[in-house]
Amino acid sequence: MRYKELDQLLHESLREERAEARDLLEGMEHTVTVKLASRLSGRPSWRKWWRMLSHPPLAMRGAVAVGIVLALAVGFLAGRMWGPGGFGFEETTGTMFAVAAPQAESVSVKGDFSAWEPVNLEDRGSGVWTAVIELPPGRYEYAFVVDGRWVGQDPVADEYVRSFGEYASVRYVEGDR
């Protein structure tokens, strides 16, 4: 076979393939343009972001407000729990009042630090009821009330006094000086 004949055969073959592929290429440019446009619409430009933030939709405004309130609430509660004077898990300062009463159902301490109003003690499972009370330096008179019964003599008291025929304990809280 000569080169001229071979060249002619190749041209005819390519022409047939182009004719077969023409249907597939029909609308290809449009399809590619649409796909690219759809991808770009999923990534808004900074202008789009700015527009969204400066003019947020109603639902987003509500979500942001709730988020701010929750963040404040969580911060506030954390501050109360772990900050000074909070209802922390373990108080480390103050004066400890403790009484062992494993069978008791309720224990409180009454004293002049609370104008003799009861302050409840807590039993954390050991049968020893405790409360820690912040007291400035001074002399404090007190008694425990265990299931309604007056218990005036605390073993760790500095002294005991008796008026009205009943004992009360006295604790001296020292200052820093």
Partner 1 sequence: MKALMLGLTLLVLLMPASAQQGGERGLDNVLELVRDMPVEQSLRQATASALRDAVPAGRASPEVAYRYVSLARDLPPAEATSALQTLRAGLEGGLLVDRLMNEALKGDAMSLPWDQIGGVLELRLAFLLAARSEIGELQLGVEVCPQTLRQATLEVGWAASDHVLQQESPDDVAGMTSRAAERLVRLRGAAPCPDTVDAVLEALTHELVGQIAARALAQKEN
* Residues at the contact surface with partner 1, assessed by CB under 8 A: 66, 69, 73, 76-77, 80, 87, 110, 112, 115-117, 137-139, 141, 143, 150, 161-164, 166, 168, 172, 174-175, 177
Smaller CB distance to partner 1: residue 27 or 88?
88
CA dihedral 50, 56, 57, 63 (to 10 degrees): 120
Smaller CB distance to partner 1: residue 100 or 173?
173
DSSP codes joined into one string, 60-127? HHHHHHHHHHHHHHHHHHHHHHHSTTS--SS--SSEEEEEE-TT-S-EEEEEGGGTT--EE-EE-SSS
Smaller CB distance to partner 1: residue 127 or 138?
138
* Least gap, CB of 47 to partner 1 (angstroms): 33
Smaller CB distance to partner 1: residue 52 or 68?
68
User: What residues pair up with 149 in beta bridges, in sequence order?
Assistant: 146
CA dihedral 16, 18, 23, 27 (to 10 degrees): -170
* Least gap, CB of 127 to partner 1 (angstroms): 25
* Least gap, CB of 92 to partner 1 (angstroms): 19
Query: How far apart (Å, rounded) are the C-alpha atoms in residues 85 and 91?
Result: 9
* Least gap, CB of 129 to partner 1 (angstroms): 18
